[in-house]
Amino acid sequence: MYEVLTTSAGFKKDHVFLLTDRAERKPTLRNIKYALGTLLARSARKDDTVIVYFAGHGAPEVDPRGIERDGLAKYLIPSDADPDDLYSTALPMDELQTIFGRIEAERVVMFLDACYSGAAGGRTFASKKTRAGSVDDLFLERLTRAKGRAIITASRPAEVSIELPELGHGIFTYFLTEGLRGAADLNRDGIVSLDELYAYVEQQVSRKSRAVGGNQHPVMKGELEGVLPLTKVRVR
């Protein structure tokens, strides 16, 4: 994703903040919160478009507050998380609502290649004390109630996000990057918009997951006014 954004998508490298296990800055809880809640709050301006991409694990935990319809709190898992102490070592999905509120930009799009089912395999895990049954998407609806905020997830909440070694990615990320490079320019106008990208990714991921015996359907929540261009591509 970093390569796509800084090459074919045309983003300046000093406008893209990278956290990976192999980078100088690791995706620890502190670094993730700094990147999202401090760096973006300081640098993103009203007319900017902010793109956030996360590839990793999600996890469910019993919701002690009784807010969730499915009885489960959801987390994004940083590299230093303790699966048996998610509250103090992982990033609660509800925290993203606070982070979104700190960012001045009118348009924030988040791509999440993670899942929360607690099932075996894919980009999810659960503590030994948690059994996730039917996971719903109420938490995504809460996050995108604010104007100008959209989230595209790799799968429906109760599904497992599939990884295929031959693609080198989860299938969501594979088609996401292919789409941004130009495959999602459905009307061939040289621009990949958010709606075009979602339509392309949803179709391709659903098709590919069925082909390998899975069942995965990306989900988009939230609405942005008008057409949101994400990348400019060469018209063939």
Domains delineated in the chain: 2-232 (3.40.50.1460)
Mind listing the pLDDT tens digit for each residue in 120-173? 344 455 554 433 444 566 667 777 777 888 989 888 877 878 888 888 888 999
DSSP secondary structure of 133-187: -S--SHHHHHHT-STTEEEEESS-TTSPPPEETTTTEEHHHHHHHHIIIIIT-TT
* pLDDT reported for residue 140: 73
Name the token pair of 33.
Answer: 């919160």
Contacts of residue 38, Cβ cutoff 8 Å, sequence gap at least 6:
none
Q: What distance in Å separates the CA atoms of residue 182 and residue 166, rounded to the nearest whole number?
A: 21
Measured in degrees and rounded to the nearest 5, phi and psi for residue 65 equal -85, -20
Mind listing the pLDDT tens digit for each residue in 45-64? 999 999 999 998 888 888 77
Helix (H) or strand (E) holding 52: strand 49-55
Q: What pTM does this model have?
A: 0.88
DSSP secondary structure of 193-205: EHHHHHHHHHHHH
Measured in degrees and rounded to the nearest 5, phi and psi for residue 52 equal -120, 130
The most confident of the ranges 54-63, 91-100, 202-211 is 202-211
Tell me if 220 sits within 8 A of 152, measured CB to CB. Answer: yes
Contacts of residue 112, Cβ cutoff 8 Å, sequence gap at least 6:
54, 58, 76, 151, 152, 153, 154
